[in-house]
Structure 1
């Protein structure tokens, strides 16, 4: 099945990429979640529009991504969440919460879709979060979750 990606899919591609995947993966995962659209002959115009939008949103160069990486890896970002006994959170920390915490602590504006949590954050403490700044550059962000 030939599809046009509309969102970043880890291990598959970026928005605007044309990919060939197995029918079940495309029909049951990518299409229902609006991560891709079917390829058509007129799809090239759509691919060009997606790539243009991505280029304006994306970090322009590797050097800029490296400086952003150095800024993110300087120190830990503190996030306050409601927690119960034993340090378990009521709910989980989402990528949107992480992006908001980074911007409120004086860091750069991050797209929540570029933040990757290895596993759901459901407890207080220190957690490592990966941020894809550029296709060649990713940063490790230290997140300190405290009970509040």
Structure 2
């Protein structure tokens, strides 16, 4: 029996996926638990419409991500840090500080968990970080640590 999944099901498939399962599994588990619906012509048409809408949302989101990437790459982010006499900073620069600097300088709120600093930042200078936007889209960002 062919069914359309409404929710993600482990070891079976994801949302809006058309799959073939045994009749008993579909009728006794998937459909009563509201995990799937039967793949009749009406539901297939709704699935096609949902996929079109999802594609439009993804295109819009991709355009927005590309705009953010251009703004972030335009100029390096500057992060102020307290330093000792030898030029080493007290502590290190973290993704939290980088996320705050992006919000203050560029106006974009990026979750700190999506930012991965490539090197340990313990001295003044220029460093790189990766930002993962999800869906396989990521960019490399350059930031500069300056003394306060």
Change (3 A) 1:105 1:18: farther
Change (3 A) 1:80 1:140: same
Give the structure 1 partner of residue 120 of structure 2. Answer: 120
Select the structure that is richer in helix: 2
Aligned CA-pair RMSD: 2.5
- Following superposition, the deviation at residue 130 of structure 1 comes to 0.8
Give the structure 2 partner of residue 31 of structure 1. Answer: none
Gaps of 5+ in 2: 1-7, 12-32, 34-57
**1:75 and 2:75 correspond:** yes
Query: Which segments of structure 1 move beyond 6 Å, counting only runs of 4 or more?
Result: 16-19
* CA–CA distance in structure 1, aligned partners of residues 65 and 123 of structure 2: 30
Give the structure 1 partner of residue 105 of structure 2. Answer: 105
Select the structure that is richer in strand: 1
Gaps of 5+ in 1: 1-15, 20-44, 46-58
Compare relative contact order (CA 8 Å, sep 6+) and give the higher one, 1 or 2.
Answer: 1
The count of corresponding residues between Structure 1 and Structure 2 is 95
Q: What pairs with 1:2-81 in structure 2 (closer than 5 Å)?
A: 61-81=61-81
On the 8 A contact 1:81/1:89 being kept in 2, the answer is yes
TM-score scaled by structure 2?
0.57
**1:93 and 2:118 correspond:** no
On the 8 A contact 2:119/2:128 being kept in 1, the answer is no
- Following superposition, the deviation at residue 86 of structure 1 comes to 2.5
TM-score scaled by structure 1?
0.57
